[in-house]
Amino acid sequence: MSAVEEWEAALAEAGELTPAVVDAILDAHGERGARAIEAVAEERVKEYRDFTVVVGHEGEYVVEDDSCECADATYNLDDDDPDQLCWHAIAVRIARHVDAVDHHDMWYAEVREFL
C-alpha cells in the first residue's frame, strides 16, 4: 500500500483529521500536505457542477482526477508516480473524506466569467 493509500484509508476510517492522520499526510507530502490541510481548514475547496476548485493564495486551481493546472503539478511532479500530488489535489482528497467540500449548485465556467 502506498503512503497516499495509507493516509486515505486512515482518514476514511477516522472521518476526521486526527493527529495520526495529519502526521501521515505530512510524512507523505511534507509542505504540500501542510498547505492542503490549511486549505481544507479554511474551507477553500469548492465543488461546482463542472469542476472542483481549490482557492489558492494567487488564484483558483481546477482539480480533476488528481490533475491540477498549477505550476507545481506542471513542472515539479512526476506524472508516473501516483503518490506525487500538488497541494491542491491533496486538499481535494482530504476535503472529500472529511465532508469539507463547499458545494455550489452552479457551473464554474459561469463563475469564472466574473473573476
> Domain range holding 68?
3-114
Alpha helices in 17-107 (DSSP H): 19-29, 31-41, 71-75, 87-97
In eight-state DSSP terms, residue 1 is: -
Is the model's pLDDT at 113 over the cut of 80? no
Q: Are 115 and 48 in contact (CB under 8 A)?
A: no
Q: What is the model's pLDDT at position 58?
A: 84
pLDDT at 2 over 80: yes
- Structurally, the chain folds into a number of domains equal to 1
Q: Say which residue, 38 or 78, is predicted with more confidence.
A: 38
pLDDT tens, position by position, 69-99: 899 999 999 888 888 999 999 999 999 999 9
Report d(CA 4, CA 33) in Å as an integer: 11
